A and B are shown apart, each in its own frame.
Chain A
């Protein structure tokens, strides 16, 4: 409780300053609405925002699962052979450094304009791929070298080594990758939806675009608040998982 209190107080203080400043300076609501107006918009449009948030969350989650399967699987396969790792790593880095906005139009074409949600999932997965791939690969190689020698000494098979040494050693790194990937998946989903920008997907990004086009600034901020809240929630969920696993592991 004591850890939530200070940030909560600060947030309330900032909102109060914002509210008072808007009223005192007569800021036009299309430029910067008061927090109370944003809150009203949140309540007003709650059903629509909730549905959109669910859509964005669902797409991000699908992307995360796809990225975890592909990234984790590839890392696992590549960890068994050094040449394979050397071959794959630069390509993975290339994927990481390419801005998702830049490849979005291409993916839109490939997925077909009727399947905009698939394109969004694919793009979000592409963004979330690298931290998972990198986390699993780094983790699998992080085992204590003396423990590796012990497994050599007793003639462990590759499967035994993986199951009893490398996977348990990798878990903390995997979770760290998951934490980063979860945040990136949401960002990727939003960016991809922006680029598709046609209302073919009904996520929070579309709510933002739509409200922006109509200059309904309070609605925009309400959608933004939803996004922020979703990100925080996701982060907290991964943290809980992280702590639970760490407690089991050490």
Chain B
């Protein structure tokens, strides 16, 4: 069973949907400060798993445990309020939890500066590029100083250069905090999963159960040029095979 010191855990969690096979049961323990990537075919329940961890959806069976603390969430799109500027968007979580406006705005400005947008506080979402909007979303998720940060394919819609830059930023923001927050990162990109996370969890495409767990080699954050390292390439290959094995009807050539 999950230790009491886990940042979050799912124990025998099953989710039933009308008209389709249930997802699970899933057992998953997230240690404090670790980065876990969740990969799997679409429909394997990756997003559902995040919503369960966030407490946004109750499980049909099993228990979801959360250490006391705050949760940050980043969705597939930036999901900003178009009528509010970057500062107001980032201050929202603080203001919703009752913090006075001036204090919330000060902290929001700090969070935006931390993601490199200190000069765009007054920008409306439509004035921001996709990468910048995602940085605002990241600042909004981090502004409450969460113990658990949940990210649902946040960079999937971005070009590869912006994407790599955001991954480096995420590592930097993560290692700058003490204690470090736990991060659960859903992706369908195996290279992103290996690079970003210390551990990758593969969900079975048909049942939604955990099909495999692979540890990524090396330390976080990654040293320069790690993408050319042999240990990175072989870890990507191993994860790709594990993912293919968990997808019904997909097999990689030997």
Listed in ascending order, the chain A residues whose CB lies under 8 Å from chain B are 144, 146-147, 149-156, 160, 164-165, 168, 248-250
Contacts and interface: CB of A to CB of B under 8 A. Distances in A.
Contact of A154 (B75, B79, B81, B97): B97
Contacts of A151: 96
B97 A249 contact: no
A164 B73 contact: no
A165 B73 contact: no
B126 interface: yes
Nearest to B88: A164
A149 B56 contact: yes
6 closest A-B pairs by CB: A154-B96, A146-B79, A146-B75, A249-B83, A250-B82, A154-B93
Contacts of B246: none
Nearest to A143: B81
A52 to B, nearest CB: 41
B172 interface: no
B99 to A, nearest CB: 11
Interface of B: 51, 54-56, 71, 73, 75-77, 79, 81-83, 92-93, 96-97, 124, 126, 144
Given A153-B54, A153-B93, A156-B96, 16 more contacts: A144-B79, A146-B79, A147-B79, A149-B73, A150-B75, A150-B92, A150-B93, A151-B96, A154-B144, A155-B96, A155-B97, A160-B96, A165-B81, A249-B83, A250-B82, A250-B126
B53 to A, nearest CB: 11
A146 B77 contact: yes
Given A146-B79, A149-B73, A168-B83, A250 B97 contact: no
Given A146-B77, A160-B96, A250-B126, A152 B56 contact: yes
Contacts of A250: 82-83, 124, 126
A153 B144 CA distance: 12
A164 to B, nearest CB: 7
A144 B77 CA distance: 11
A150 B50 CA distance: 13
A159 to B, nearest CB: 11
10 contacts: A147-B81, A149-B56, A150-B75, A153-B55, A153-B73, A155-B96, A160-B96, A165-B81, A168-B81, A250-B126
A171 to B, nearest CB: 8
Contacts of A156: 96
Contacts of A160: 96
A249 B82 contact: yes
Nearest to A171: B83
A150 B83 contact: no
Contacts of B73: 149-150, 153
Contacts of A164: 81, 92, 96
Nearest to B84: A168
A196 to B, nearest CB: 44
Nearest to B71: A153
A9 to B, nearest CB: 37
A204 B92 CA distance: 51
Contacts of A249: 82-83
B74 to A, nearest CB: 10
Contacts of A155: 96-97
